[in-house]
Structure 1
Amino acid sequence: MAVEICEALAAEGITRTFAIQELTLPLALDGTDLIGQARTGMGKTLGFGVPLLDRVFDSADVEELDGTPRALVVVPTRELAVQVGEDLARAAAKIPVRLTTIYGGRPYEEQIEALEAGVDVVVGTPGRIIDLYQRGDLQLDRVAILVLDEADEMLDLGFLPDIEKILRALEHEHQTMLFSATMPGPIITLARSFLSQPVHIRAEEAGAAQTHSTTEQVVFMAHRMDKPAVTARILQANGRGRTIIFARTKRTAAEVAEELAGRGFTVGAVHGDMGQPAREKSLNAFRDGTIEILVATDVAARGIDIDDVTHVINYQTPDDPMTYVHRIGRTGRAGHSGTAITLVGYDELPKWKAINEELDLDLPEPPQWFSTSPELFDALSIPEGAQESVGKPRRVFGGAAAAVRGRGPRTPRGPRSGSARAPRGEHGDRGERGGRGRRR
């Protein structure tokens, strides 16, 4: 491997390989087609990025660079395109390889201008890649290395037909590397159809748990009206650093961000109702530490590749087990420990039971806690004096000012003495009292 790439990585503090990297590097550097399977946060980007850059820079079987792409990396979301592009740029800091990212939500003109100026490696999303290819602005006839990153997420987002179009456009001989956390049937079929005798690499043993062992999972039932107060107290836990709060919908993400800003927290948001520049501004602020709390929808958060996220909060229970795995995989990464908290609404219990059964988490009936439950404070190391608000209302980062409340938030209270009645559930049922919490 080129010494210049090693020096660039060392300058970023990267001096050892993760399992997926150690297994893929020898094969990828040799030009072998491969399927890399590892959970999120286990180093897949450099697993394909380092050999890709090395081969583009100095491989005898890759044509000499002339300003047309020699490598193409396809990713499911805009945010992930930006993140992968930045990671590759850092690794390529000391070699003369030109990179660019192309994705929707940005003007065509600036991306076409970059392609016309000459690029060697392109990172992009399927739709924009196809658009620029069909317009004649993106040349694919000399691509020697193709990477499909997060293939299972591209399947979930409905990009499989687009991926097949891209693959059919590369009829000439080339190396293909497919990376995915899971291997559903359609992805296996895709690999068999378009890869040449690929080597399948798993970074963990078959049957291994799909969640990180470094992530503590805390799950409990929370009343819908009490979730803002519960979340506010969780955000005051001892040792909390960067935190991602997941919501299922754009509307809920915006509402949660406004609610927390109204309680005095410095918070940003990333969801589909925001323009791409605003989303990138929030993500960059989260990465550089300007804000430590980010509220996001699942699609928007797929480009967040930060190793030191300490807490993930599932404000709403995910729709399926794989979404749960991807969400909580944002913490406990790269050897760090983390805490994943899931607030199961009364109407969300069937979803949680399906997740619990599929992932074998051994928690089919989570305890019921309130924002004042001692169990909540104990389980998450929340100081005794933590309140529902921490200061004056603020603006959501990059957004409008939070509304100043005329009265306190309407949150049901389950007093610490255990004497008061629990609030009615979201379907009118009266919840049972919460017992001791369960952790994993």
Structure 2
Amino acid sequence: MENQNQEVPSETSTKPKRTRRPNKRPKSSNDESSRSSQANTKANNETDTAEKTKGHIWSIDDFPVAEVEGKLRFHDLNLPDRVIKSISEMGFEYCSEIQAETLPMTLLGYDIIGQAQTGTGKTAAFLIAMISDFLDYPLEEKRANNFARGLIIAPTRELAIQIADEAIKLTSNCHLNVVTLVGGLSYEKQKIALETENVDILVATPGRLLDFARSRKVQLGKVECLVLDEADRMLSMGFIPDVKSIIRMTPHKETRQTMLFSATFPKDIQALAQQWTYFPKEVSVVPKEATNKNIDQVIYTVEADQKWPVLQQLIEKNGGQRTIIFANRRDETRDLYELLRKANINCAILSGEVAQDKRVKTLKNFKDGVIQVLVATDVAGRGIHVDNVELVVNYSLPEDPEDYVHRIGRTGRGGETGKSVSFASEDDAFMIPEIERVVGESIRCEYMVDTSL
């Protein structure tokens, strides 16, 4: 059991658990001797087939990024060149706010408690720190391949799969391997992966991970880095008992690095964060408003029987926009899907009753623009991390005001602008003041009717 009580930190106890390597990269681009030394080091230590292109070994000089005041370049973080190469291939040049705030500390080995909304770049923030650490400190002993080095726990299958996809991109130029364990997909295939592949980075949902860990098909006793993503959602979905059991299987918090991220921090999550981390650094990049200022929010007050015709008008008026519609119940999503389909609107459904392989395919089609409109429940929708979603519609106001923040956070990601439209009828209009309290601002209300009549 993790010890919740921490002694007053001494000078030694607050030091990072592992010292980072010396800076090999020259401070000045004109320092030719340093450059030569760096090249020799690379040739001896970092040459692998992924870095060779027609005899040329990639170096950071192949990825020039201008210095911009107020922005932190990935160049400035002394990352391994193989990580920088993957970052360049993904098209990133400057750190997002959460990356700029956390990476200088996590790269030194410190634990982090981070408050950040979806779409802020937090996935890359913890993956870059983990991957860099594993490259800087390769294993010194031979071990069975089912011993995980890095463990990332996410509340939903969709989120776990998307984290794994990003991890695969960031490890594309090195030997590290990514394994995903989630429910709803083939247990046997995942079991074979654990038996035949090195488990360098393990991305998992709590239930499936616990099944494999209890049967000792995956070993967590030598985990070097633990990430808990969207901790508040794990709490609301009832996963905390499973997460506690999993964490008890990992090394003590003093000997592992722990990074915990959450969009909100209710008291239970605050207590767990302190219990699971060791003298953590705390970072918050949430704006004063709980919701993204790039999102134009409006509430349409409508009669219950007017919701569908108003929604149809809204979608047709904004033809071609990538749209997510949230409903509170599975039966409501099914009904909406049928109405949209009959109206010849290109749509798909994402809810817990849809088979996992179909959900994965649906998300890919939505990302690729094959599907225009997605109808989702809160649990399924939490795993939707897709850029360029222009419109989010709350067909029903969420029963939990915090879910309003998570729902509309599907749009306005990465600095883009977005719009959220919420329908409020006499059944749920009483939720508006509570939602406004959570978001910290008044939301514009407009009375809407079906103007096509």
TM category, shorter: 0.7 to 0.9
Please name the residue that 2:134 is paired with: 56
Distance 1:96 1:61, change over 3 A: closer
2 CA distance for matches of 1:19 and 1:65?
37
1 CA distance for matches of 2:301 and 2:133?
51
Match of 2:266 among 184, 187, 194: 184
Q: Which runs of 4+ in 1 moved over 4 A?
A: 60-66
Percent identity over paired residues: 37
Query: Where do 5+ consecutive residues of structure 1 fail to align?
Result: 373-386, 388-412, 414-440
SS at 2:219 equivalent: coil
2 CA distance for matches of 1:48 and 1:195?
15
Q: Deviations over 1:8-38 (max 9, x none)?
A: 1221212211110011111111111111111
Q: Structure 2-normalised TM-score? A: 0.79
**Is contact 2:289–2:441 with CA below 8 Å preserved after alignment?**
no
**Is contact 2:152–2:226 with CA below 8 Å preserved after alignment?**
yes
2 CA distance for matches of 1:363 and 1:77?
29
Q: Give the CA RMSD over aligned residues.
A: 1.7
Map 1:192-271 onto structure 2 (within 5 A): 192-204=274-286, 208-238=288-318, 241-271=321-351
Give, as a single letter, the amino acid of the residue that structure 2 aligns with 1:50. I
Q: Deviations over 1:15-69 (max 9, x none)?
A: 2111100111111111111111112211110110111111122226886786231
Please name the residue that 1:94 is paired with: 173
Q: Structure 1-normalised TM-score? A: 0.81
Say yes or no: does 1:13 pair with 2:91. yes
Please name the residue that 1:329 is paired with: 409
1 CA distance for matches of 2:360 and 2:139?
37
2 CA distance for matches of 1:9 and 1:305?
19
Distance 1:335 1:240, change over 3 A: farther
Please name the residue that 2:163 is paired with: 84
Distance 1:154 1:62, change over 3 A: farther
2 CA distance for matches of 1:166 and 1:231?
44
**Is contact 2:347–2:375 with CA below 8 Å preserved after alignment?**
yes
**Is contact 2:290–2:440 with CA below 8 Å preserved after alignment?**
no
Number of equivalenced pairs: 371
Map 1:390-401 onto structure 2 (within 5 A): none
**Is contact 1:38–1:204 with CA below 8 Å preserved after alignment?**
yes
Query: Where do 5+ consecutive residues of structure 2 fail to align?
Result: 1-78
SS at 2:407 equivalent: helix
**Is contact 2:113–2:259 with CA below 8 Å preserved after alignment?**
yes
Please name the residue that 1:359 is paired with: 439
Give, as a single letter, the amino acid of the residue that structure 2 aligns with 1:354. E
Please name the residue that 1:117 is paired with: 196
Please name the residue that 1:279 is paired with: 359
Please name the residue that 2:376 is paired with: 296
Give, as a single letter, the amino acid of the residue that structure 1 aligns with 2:119. G
**Is contact 1:254–1:269 with CA below 8 Å preserved after alignment?**
yes
2 CA distance for matches of 1:289 and 1:240?
10
**Is contact 2:320–2:372 with CA below 8 Å preserved after alignment?**
no
